[in-house]
Amino acid sequence: MATAVFLLSRLLPGSFATDRILENSAGYYSKGAESDRQAAYQSYIRRTGLDQPLFYFSLAPATQPTDSLNRLYSETKQARLRKLAWHYGSEHNAEAYLSSTELIDKQLQTYPDASLKHHLQTLRAEVKYHPLQDAARKVAVVASHPQVKQAAKQVLERLQTMQQERASFAFLVPQVSWHGRQNQYHQWLMRLLQGDMGTSYRSSRPVLALLTEAIGNTWWLLICSMAITLALSLELSILMVKKKGRFLRKLLLPFLFITDSIPVFVLALLLLVLLANPDFIQLFPVYGMGYYSPQRLSFWQQLSQWWQYMTLPMLCLVLSSLPYITNQVYASIHSAMQADYTRTARAKGLAEGAVIRRHILRNSLLPIITIASDILPALVAGTLIIETIFAVPGIGRLLIDSVLARDYPVLIGIVLVIAAFRIIAFLLADLGYAWADPRIKQQLA
């Protein structure tokens, strides 16, 4: 699973280096010259190991450049080189032609002449992605300007060479390349086996440290929400199976059905509007995890502040999972009421509450434990949305920020943590089976 997560994360478009270092919009690196940004980009990918191949081997068309791509070009230029090599069937000619067009970009920054700039922009649009048949004519027009004659002449020569030596079906020939252990996956796997999840691209901090800081709020949010959901579902199910609970069942089941049909993000927004809105009822803070205090807060003050900010996220998680859990627990208890041991307990004269809690509930624990093992991974998925809406600094917020920043090491670490939650849930379910049914414990022994 870790291998699949690593490889799939590399399929995401864009990268942190391209978005942050080579950006032309407002940003730290955008203030520098193009050559400085390229030098910073090359230094970054060498430092992070992104200049190495992705896996032990690669299968690609013979015309597709492989090893030199990450070392020479950014992702935009890599895509352009692949397209040219695919179309004309020669990696060498495509790379030579692409290098000559880089001179055109430099001329655009060097000469402010408006008419020349127009010709250069037209030429660049024609030859950058899809060199057309009349590109030579446009090159000749630009070449009439003495300041760019040499650069335009070089573009024309390499364009003609690429067109004359075109191999239309060369991309149909496959090529298998063996990269050995010097690849990104092998380096990542070796560090992971040693307990090192890597370093964040965005903050240059260890991924394990970031996860440790973020997992606290998520963990308590999950545990408290799961405990409240299970307790409520058990009590509501017990009340509904009683003879006196028919009226409650008629009211509660439609409410649970309506709640279950509301998406989690809509439910979160409704709670914010209804319970955290100054124009309606502001019982809870809107978002975040508290305020900064120059004085050290006591434990009870910190706990009180934590509950104020976590009540709405917790309530949202409970309401989103309560209908399904209650329905399953109610069905399990209701079926157990038709069993022979239930009729025997009633024939002994036991009260209805004692029959339910001593006999029915104990024999209904197996399906309830199965449901409880499934609710933990479901709540983990729900926290991703809840923490984003309520601005809770947890795993969910960290995941969203990592995806937006293309911070692959953090993204992979979070997915592995979620997988660990699921494994822990299954392990606890197996232990719960052995505790609820001694026959299972004997079979395991």
Distance in angstroms (rounded) separating the CA atoms of residues 194 and 211: 17
**Who wins on pLDDT, 431 or 113?**
431
* Residue 107 confidence (pLDDT) above 70: no
3-class state of residue 251 by DSSP: helix
Tally of domains within the chain: 2
* Residue 68 confidence (pLDDT) above 60: no
CATH value at residue 420: 1.10.3720.10
Q: Please give the average per-residue pLDDT across 308-313, as a whole number.
A: 86
Q: Indicate whether 225 and 185 sit together in one domain.
A: no
Confirm whether 234 is domain-assigned: yes
Q: Indicate whether 347 and 429 sit together in one domain.
A: yes
Give pLDDT, residue 305. 79
Rounded to 10 degrees, the C-alpha dihedral 248/374/360/353 comes to -40
**Who wins on pLDDT, 62 or 338?**
338
Q: Please give the average per-residue pLDDT across 83-89, as a whole number.
A: 77
Confirm whether 384 is domain-assigned: yes
Question: In degrees rounded to 5, what are phi and psi of residue 24?
Answer: -100, -15
Please give the residue range of the domain that contains residue 252.
207-444
* Residue 112 confidence (pLDDT) above 60: no
Angle separating helix axes 246-260 and 207-241, nearest 10 degrees: 150
Give pLDDT, residue 130. 47
Residue-wise pLDDT for 245-275, tens only, equals 777 888 888 888 888 888 888 888 888 888 8
Domain edge (last residue) among 193, 224, 250: 193
**Who wins on pLDDT, 4 or 377?**
4
For the chain, state the CA radius of gyration: 32
Question: In degrees rounded to 5, what are phi and psi of residue 217?
Answer: -65, -40
Q: Indicate whether 284 and 144 sit together in one domain.
A: no
Residues 6+ apart with CB under 8 A from 199: 48, 205, 206, 207, 409
Residue-wise pLDDT for 178-217, tens only, equals 888 888 888 888 888 888 888 888 888 899 999 988 888 8
Average pLDDT, the chain: 76
Distance in angstroms (rounded) separating the CA atoms of residues 109 and 104: 9
Confirm whether 299 is domain-assigned: yes
Closest CA to 394 of 37, 132, 386: 386
Q: Please give the average per-residue pLDDT across 341-354, as a whole number.
A: 78
Confirm whether 127 is domain-assigned: yes
Residue-wise pLDDT for 289-303, tens only, equals 765 555 677 777 777
CA 187 to chain centre: 22
Q: Indicate whether 234 and 161 sit together in one domain.
A: no
Domain edge (last residue) among 141, 158, 193: 193
Q: Indicate whether 164 and 291 sit together in one domain.
A: no
Give pLDDT, residue 118. 62
Residue-wise pLDDT for 114-170, tens only, equals 665 565 555 555 554 444 445 555 565 555 666 666 777 777 778 778 777 777 777
Q: Indicate whether 138 and 226 sit together in one domain.
A: no
